[in-house]
A and B are shown apart, each in its own frame.
Chain A
Amino acid sequence: MSAFFRLRDSFAKRQRPLKVLGASGQLGYGLPAKAFAAGVARQPDCLGCDMGSIDIGPHFLGSGEVATADVMMRSDLRQVLKAARSLDVPLLIGTAGSAGASSHLDATAQALREIAREEGLKFRLALIRADMPPEVVKSAARDGRVTPIGAIGNLTDDEIDAAGNIVGQMGTEAFARALEAGADVVLAGRACDTAIFAAVPTMLGFPHGPTLHMSKIIECSSLCCLPGGRDAILATLEGGSFVLESMNPDRRATPMSVAAHSLYEQSDPNELIEPDGIMRVDRATYEAVDERRCRIAGATWHPASQLTVKIEGARSVGERAVLLCGSADPRFISRAEELVEEVREVVRGLVCGDAEADYQLIFRLYGLNGVYDWREVPKVMPREIFIMAECIAATADRATTVVKTCKQFLLHHGYEGRLSTGGNIAFPFSPPEVVAGPAYRFNIYHIMAVDALAPLFPVELEDI
């Protein structure tokens, strides 16, 4: 009998509070071991981990590479898998391998299989794919069922074909299907963070509103606490409310810190849109149980009349090379913005002759406007600036050619009033040019209306 079926049987005999351990909100970056062990010692009824996000940028979705270091990913997977199997409780992992496309899912599944073999663990594994077939997306776009989430434009067949990967965010339904199929461990591709934690409680009859609210908070582990951190967090669901407790005794879940977490990475703190409905927290209440624990209730669930899937895609835009250098010359710094524009034109003449530039050359002047696009010069000029010249071109050779040329002519660019005729810039090492690999951009971030969710997120079972 699967870990979930045993849990369901025990609930059928006797309703009781359900303990859900939010093991990690970023599995693969290192799991704080002490708090995790404390969480496991509390004998949770299920373990959930979020493994990815769109925050990391378009590269990982576009290329299919995993963002985290392989050795760290395996170390984290080993800890959560061993714990879940020793407790014999469901383990649910969402957005496998950073971006949740098939290559990410397969790399994570392979690591799980190898760890299971090394540790002598036996279980039923469910893999849930989240890749959206291009033909499905094209057909939906043609039927007017795909809407941009912001300023990204309408979706065309060309953009769909250009995307390296297209994934859809699965909801609670997909995890529930995997558990119904007898899975002990569910490894999902791209998934709503909430779905990881919401499937088990809702299947046991806990109400959707508070369950989704709990899930939204614990997917970030102890980030909702004071001080916030990445330690495991335990949520105890009891009827229509839940209690949060960080597994690090130094972190306190206070009514204010937990309420504030509703704002995190959300454009509207009052609502959370899921594939099959909306969870609203405007009537939620936050009440201190003691100094370290908070009880939360009152979130409401509003089923959607139309099912939707958030779809994400990234496409290649060329190859990237960068030049890293800096200046400590006040005359150069005060004119840096116009000087790099002069150098841009010199470089174009040298590598393109009379033709237009067949590449993008982007200068970021750290100290002036490298991080934020300040639209005025600073009142006081900085003593030093760091300059990053980034080129994106059709090939790595072309991009490297541009930044190498840029390096030499930025170094020796003459200007009125120059004193430092030995060179305008300092290089931190040699060579100062770095080939950075393929560059990607998000080209799909849309909502797709669908008639059914299950066919888009197929479950594959495997006995290990």
Chain B
Amino acid sequence: MKLEEIAKVVRSKNAGPLHLTFDLMFADEVDYNRVLQSPALTPARIAKAYGVPADTVEIIPYAPALAIKIAMERKVIAGDPGDRDVYGAQQHGPLLELDL
């Protein structure tokens, strides 16, 4: 199953100009736990999908919101020459396809 088939929200946004964050939200605890326990949800796998070093990727569950936060360093600082997405709001594409 792909992440986009189970998540209610898959979004990306800057957390400051140096970091990208991704929020995954779910309809219920079953879906939340299923994704949280998936072998696909590791810093190594996410890092590979984004072409960044695994030690720059963090995965932080936030149970009160049935949500999972992923944070990583931006490859290009927001707004630097060559940046494609100043707000970082359209960087979630590879996550939609993440095979759980």
Contacts and interface: CB of A to CB of B under 8 A. Distances in A.
B81 A267 contact: no
A256 interface: yes
B14 A55 contact: yes
A51 B26 CA distance: 32
A35 B67 CA distance: 29
B19 to A, nearest CB: 5
Contact of B62 (A263, A317, A364): A263
A256 B25 CA distance: 10
Contacts of A450: none
A135 B81 CA distance: 28
A373 B84 contact: yes
B65 A256 contact: yes
B60 A445 contact: no
- Point out which of A57, A262, A267, A270 has the most chain B C-beta atoms below 10 A from its C-beta: A267
Interface in B18-60: 18-19, 21, 23, 25, 51, 56, 58, 60
A125 to B, nearest CB: 30
Interface residues of B, number: 39
Nearest to B62: A269
A121 B59 CA distance: 51
A329 B31 CA distance: 44
B7 interface: no
A370 interface: yes
Interface in B54-92: 56, 58, 60, 62, 64-67, 69, 71, 73-75, 77-82, 84-87, 90-91
A269 B14 contact: no
Contacts of B14: 54-55, 265
Contacts of A268: 58, 60, 69, 71
A183 B36 CA distance: 49
Contact of B16 (A54, A269, A270, A373): A54
A362 interface: yes
B3 interface: no
A260 B65 contact: yes
A371 B65 contact: no
A260 B60 contact: no
A420 to B, nearest CB: 27
B81 A264 contact: no
Most buried by B among A270, A373, A440: A373
A317 B81 contact: yes
B75 A373 contact: yes
Nearest to B75: A373
Interface string B88-100: 0011011000000
B18 A151 contact: yes
A interface, by DSSP: helix, strand, loop or mixed?
Answer: loop
Given A150-B18, A152-B18, A372-B91, A263 B77 contact: no
B18 A263 contact: no
A263 B23 contact: yes
A265 B89 CA distance: 10
Nearest to B17: A442
A267 B19 contact: yes
Given A264-B23, A265-B15, A151 B65 contact: no
A315 B17 CA distance: 14
* Most chain A CB within a 10 A radius of its CB, from B14, B23, B62, B67: B62
A288 interface: no
Nearest to B94: A372
Contact of A269 (B56, B69, B74): B69
B77 A441 contact: yes
Interface in A25-82: 54-59
A441 B90 contact: no
A152 B81 contact: no
B62 A262 contact: yes
Interface in A264-281: 264-270, 281
A362 B60 CA distance: 35
Contacts of A255: 64
Nearest to A362: B82
Given A54-B17, A392-B81, A151 B73 contact: yes
B18 A445 contact: yes
A150 B19 contact: yes
Contacts of B93: 372, 374
Nearest to B19: A267
B64 A286 contact: yes
A362 B90 contact: no
A149 interface: yes
30 contacts: A54-B78, A55-B14, A55-B78, A57-B78, A58-B80, A150-B16, A150-B19, A255-B64, A259-B62, A260-B9, A260-B23, A260-B25, A262-B64, A263-B23, A263-B62, A263-B67, A266-B21, A267-B15, A267-B19, A267-B58, A268-B71, A281-B64, A284-B64, A285-B64, A370-B84, A371-B85, A373-B75, A390-B81, A392-B81, A445-B17
Q: Kindly list the 4 A-B residue pairs having the minimum CB-CB distance in the complex, ordered from nearest.
A: A150-B18, A57-B79, A259-B65, A260-B65
Interface of A: 54-59, 149-152, 255-256, 259-260, 262-270, 281, 284-286, 317, 360, 362, 364, 369-375, 390, 392, 439-442, 445
